[in-house]
């Protein structure tokens, strides 16, 4: 799920990342070709191909949805102009049958994906995606908290990553530090999390043969975000 604000931040981060890689990439090429007898026309063609592949990987598909031809890459005045052309394309992909919306949220799924999806927004603003796959024997859930390492205060670097760890170390309803992992281990599951620059993502999976067990798993997971303990002992270790 994306909003205009998240698309904008995605464009900005993609731009800076692409510029960095293109700078490094072109530097490598200059060094290589200056000490090589490879035909210059061939070199330019190879360089354009590498740029095309690099930008294809780095630019978010949610922002750029058109295919830029090799000719466009060859004719671009510079990397900045090329990048501008890429990140300003905001037309939706030509797979309308796989774009599902609830009026507020838009979900894009692969055209061959036959699973059932539902999206909605809770009263507190939390956006939710539900996915049902009758052929699966497992269940999973994830929470994306839209705060990451870029929000760390100067006085406390690493605060977002610290919070990520602390949420696993006991909650008001389930105070034992290893309670969640013990529960998941006994139900064929696992959990993990990661801190990115603008998001912190938590997730878990487990066997789904018993609804009551999944309900407990969701209750335990939800308590991370409503009543984490941040005990003195765990805080000191982390």
Q: How far is CA 184 from CA 55, 138, 215, in A?
A: 40, 12, 12
Q: Which of 8, 12, 93, 23 is nearest to 54 (CA)?
A: 23
Taking the C-alpha atoms of residue 68 and residue 70, their distance in angstroms, rounded to an integer, is 7
Q: Any catalytic annotation for residue 164?
A: yes
Taking the C-alpha atoms of residue 181 and residue 205, their distance in angstroms, rounded to an integer, is 11
Residue 92 burial class via C-beta count within 10 angstroms: exposed 0-12, middle 13-18, buried 19 and up: exposed
Six-digit token string for 80: 């900045």
Taking the C-alpha atoms of residue 153 and residue 63, their distance in angstroms, rounded to an integer, is 29
End-to-end CA distance of the chain: 32
- Residue of 118, 164, 232, 238 marked active site: 164
Catalytic residues: 164
């Amino acid at each position: 799920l994306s909003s205009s604000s998240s698309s904008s931040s995605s464009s900005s981060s993609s731009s800076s990342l692409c510029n960095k890689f293109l700078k490094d990439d072109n530097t490598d090429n200059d060094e290589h070709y200056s000490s090589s007898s490879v035909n210059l026309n061939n070199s330019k063609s190879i360089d354009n191909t590498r740029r095309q592949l690099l930008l294809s990987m780095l630019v978010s598909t949610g922002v750029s949805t058109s295919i830029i031809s090799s000719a466009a890459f060859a004719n671009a005045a510079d990397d900045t102009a090329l990048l501008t052309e890429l990140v300003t394309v905001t037309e939706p992909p030509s797979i309308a049958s796989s774009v599902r919306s609830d009026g507020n949220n838009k979900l894009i799924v692969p055209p061959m994906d036959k699973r059932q999806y539902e999206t909605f927004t809770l009263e507190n603003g939390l956006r939710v995606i539900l996915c049902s796959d009758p052929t699966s024997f497992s269940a999973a859930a994830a929470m994306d908290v839209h705060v990451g390492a870029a929000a760390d205060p100067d006085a406390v670097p690493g605060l977002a990553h610290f919070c990520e760890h602390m949420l696993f170390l006991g909650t008001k309803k389930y105070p034992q530090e290893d309670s969640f992992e013990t529960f998941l281990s006994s139900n064929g599951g696992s959990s993990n999390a990661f801190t990115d620059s603008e998001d912190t993502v938590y997730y878990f999976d487990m066997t789904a043969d018993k609804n009551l067990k999944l309900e407990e798993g969701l209750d335990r997971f939800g308590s991370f975000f409503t009543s984490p303990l941040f005990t003195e002992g765990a805080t000191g270790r982390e």
